[in-house]
Chain A
Amino acid sequence: MIPHSPTKRSLIGALLLSGLALTAYAEDEVQQQTTVTPAPAPEVDPITVTVGLQLEPPHLDPTSAAAGAIDQVLYANVFEGLTRFGPDGSIRPALARSWTISEDGLSYTFTLAADVTFHDGTAMDANDVVFSLNRARAEDSVNAQKALFEDIASVWAMGETQVRVTLSKPNGNFLFNLAWGDAVIVAPESIENIKTNPVGTGPFMFSDWVQGDQIELVKYAEYWGAPAQLDIATFKFISDPTAAFAAMMAEDIDAFSGFPAPENLPQFEADPRFTVLVGSTEGETILSTNNKMPPFDNVKVREALAHAIDRQAIIDGAMFGYGTPIGTHFAPHNPDYVDLTANSTYDPELARTLLSEAGFPDGFTTTLKLPPPSYARRGGEIIAAQLRAVGIETEITNLEWAQWLEEVFRGKDYGLTIVSHTEPFDIGIYARPDYYFQYDNPVFQEKMATLNSEADPEARSALLAELQTIISEDYVNGYLFQLAALSVANVNLIGLWENAPTQATDLTSVYWDE
């Protein structure tokens, strides 16, 4: 009934055996040269780390679900793609060591790392890449980010370590798209059981999953790249913020990635046993506004909304000061970010004037539907108070995520809601008129299409600045703040990501400094 991993047992066994063998050898030597003092027994304890996470993955296939928790455990550790995100969000080579792009931007030739094996021992070659990309873009694909692959026209294996991908139209984001956890390379024969037994090419292999409790990864000895510096990595799932605090304080766990209780961070900062990592995520937290629902179809009303909101008060009140104000839907740590917060300064007087001009001198009543995260629930209360101050009454409804998806996201039955859009580089959602905030601007859509086919970095930067400005000046949504990445770790644990350019707990270069 109780699962126990044979892999783990055999690994520890192997370590113990090798230790015993060495000791035996040393004893042999001692017997031969009795004058020499015996060598100290070699260290046999495996190097371990236990990382706390708030959410447990529903299953272990990153290519068929949106759950960030899957990548949080497996990205870079177990699964690798052709490219990958670095800790700073840059795109780096992964299984593809190099690539060439044709003049017209339609053909990418990737050269794969040699001698790569999957954790089951089979070789990873060009055919696996072809299989993985074709599976993701297939008609019956259940890949949650299928759009990443929609420009692919064909994928060809050009020998064991070369793959050519042709696109139907140039896509300046293609290498970026391939770095997502949804684009990792999987083995065809592993698909049947991938949800419970993921087989990847990374420096750690999956060992054991006690559902509801923990997932254990062990070091993969045959890894093709720089080997991991940990032998066993355990992810423990602790959803309750108080329990997370207690587990860290009692040192049951060595680190907590995405710490759920910002109010407790000063306590960890003051404690010499811990270090607190405060970075940035890709999560633009916005007051999403139903642009098709009156009175929000009037840009003056949306502008009034923007000036009625005091971002800093929300950051302080809901996030205990962690978060960076934003004035558009773009990550501030991105080099192409334009600071447009001045477009929506906190000015309740101006907000009231704008409301009068729009024909609502006495304000109006609308709905504010809040999903479960604390940024939404706490932030919602503060926003409701700020809106009331300019005459806008809100009826707050708390929703679970599944209800939110059905009512707000799919049904578009809402006036206002608060959501953090955590997908990296997702300004493209403003070019989808059927998207839940229903923003329909042909100028924006055209420029977005130009951007997607533009490969020249300077032209891209200019376009991105324009795009950010358009949605800022159209006041599509209330742009609140960039969600902070908050982690707590044992002070001797080195190498954890500070920022979260994608949802991941990359342990590939984590080590103990002792």
Chain B
Amino acid sequence: MLRYTLRRLVSLIIALAVASVVIFVAVEIVPGDPAAYMLGINARPDTVAALQAELGLDLPVHERYLAWVGGLVQGDFGTSYTYRTPIADIIGERLWVSLPLALYALILSTLIAFPAGILAATRRGSVADMLVMGITQLGVAIPNFWFAMLMVLVFAINLRWFSAGGFAGWEHGIAPGLKSLTLPAIALALPQASILARVMRSALLDTLSEDFIRTARAKGLTRRQTLWRHALRNALIPVLTIIGLQFSFLLAGAIIIENVFFLPGLGRLVFQAISQRDLIVVESVVMLLVFAVIIVNFAVDLAYAAVDPRLRRS
């Protein structure tokens, strides 16, 4: 297990280093100068030059890269060009929205997908199975932003149960905060739950037709016991993979949903920073997301090993 963990750790560090170079280069070659953007069309060239100097944009590219990575290693993300506040603080604030939203959506999606997937697999061909397959087909097909707008129309404009968007802030208590994340979380969870339920179903069906299931039944276990003790555990590997992918997607991919519900999350931060050419914010947030994705995958790898002892030896 230790060697397996170490090997994973080394590949994690290499991935991070490569990512930092790719992100920095990609962001730097996009045309558009932050200082010129901030000063607009009436600014004189000497004013733009003065602002560039103030922001440190007049330094050569490699120096800026080294300064950035050097800071990152020490946990210093730098200072935003536009907001002029430390990026770590900005990200910290946004994470208080994005992280709970991603977790909320993931919990919802798992809570829906597991029972639905198990039900469909154990009663294959039944009405329940067909219902689950039909609904999840729809769930995968419906774009989540459209579903979000539909929910706003029904629950915010007509029924007035929720506000149309915005974040109430945790300082007013957990309930108002969760309430303002509920519609976005449902919108995010629906397609994820559909995918997860289908994966759960097919993984379980595959496992249920394995020889060891028949053996388990033959040694006298009931259907239920076989399912919970043997089949489910073996079907979990593909499901865990999908959950890992989904969490990183939920953290980074909520841009559109955050815009529909005007939530001050990480996705919206990146979106704004790109159009304002707040390059250092883009670089740092993307780097953080890459880091999160890699860590989640690392955790998933370890979880595989926990579920499947064969992986620890290979």
Contacts and interface: CB of A to CB of B under 8 A. Distances in A.
A66 B39 contact: yes
A426 B42 CA distance: 10
Contact of B166 (A59, A143, A213, A403): A213
B133 interface: no
Contacts of A146: 43-44, 47
A37 to B, nearest CB: 37
A115 interface: no
Interface string B27-53: 000111110111111111001001100
A414 interface: no
A442 B84 CA distance: 42
B171 interface: yes
Interface in B173-227: none
B167 interface: yes
A147 B93 CA distance: 38
A143 B93 contact: no
A400 B282 CA distance: 15
Given A403-B32, A406-B36, A246 B272 contact: no
10 closest Cβ contacts across the A-B interface? Answer: A66-B40, A402-B32, A212-B264, A58-B82, A213-B264, A246-B164, A250-B164, A402-B277, A250-B156, A144-B39
Interface residues of A, number: 52
B143 interface: no
A66 B41 contact: yes
19 contacts: A2-B96, A58-B38, A58-B83, A67-B38, A195-B83, A210-B93, A212-B94, A212-B264, A236-B166, A238-B165, A243-B259, A243-B262, A246-B165, A250-B152, A250-B156, A252-B166, A402-B32, A402-B276, A410-B36
A396 B60 CA distance: 34
A147 B262 contact: no
A246 to B, nearest CB: 4
Contact of A4 (B82, B163, B171): B171
Contact of A249 (B33, B93, B164, B260): B164
B99 to A, nearest CB: 11
Given A66-B43, A246-B156, A403-B31, 9 more contacts: A2-B93, A2-B170, A66-B40, A141-B50, A246-B157, A247-B165, A250-B152, A402-B34, A403-B32
Given A2-B93, A147-B44, A142 B39 contact: yes
A249 B82 CA distance: 32
B36 A405 contact: yes
Contacts of A426: 42
A144 B47 contact: yes
A176 to B, nearest CB: 15
A66 B33 CA distance: 14
A402 B277 CA distance: 7
A407 interface: yes
Contact of B31 (A4, A58, A407): A407
Contacts of A195: 83-85
A264 interface: no
Contacts of A410: 36
A146 B211 CA distance: 80
Given A58-B82, A66-B39, A2 B32 contact: no
A4 B168 CA distance: 12
A457 interface: no
Contact of A400 (B32, B33, B157, B164): B32
Contact of A406 (B33, B275, B276): B33
B261 interface: yes
Interface centre among B84, B149, B171, B269 (most CB of A within 10 A): B84
B256 to A, nearest CB: 9
A249 B268 CA distance: 23
A58 B82 CA distance: 5
A173 interface: no
A1 B91 CA distance: 10
A212 B272 contact: yes
A506 interface: no
Contacts of B153: 246
Contacts of A365: none
Interface in B59-83: 82-83
B37 A243 contact: no
Contact of B32 (A58, A145, A236, A406): A406
Contacts of A4: 171
A3 B260 CA distance: 24
Interface string B268-281: 11001011111000
Contacts of B40: 65-67, 144
A364 interface: no
B259 A240 contact: yes
B33 A402 contact: yes
Contact of A237 (B41, B164, B171, B262): B262
A211 B42 contact: no
Contacts of A144: 38-40, 42-43, 47
B252 to A, nearest CB: 16
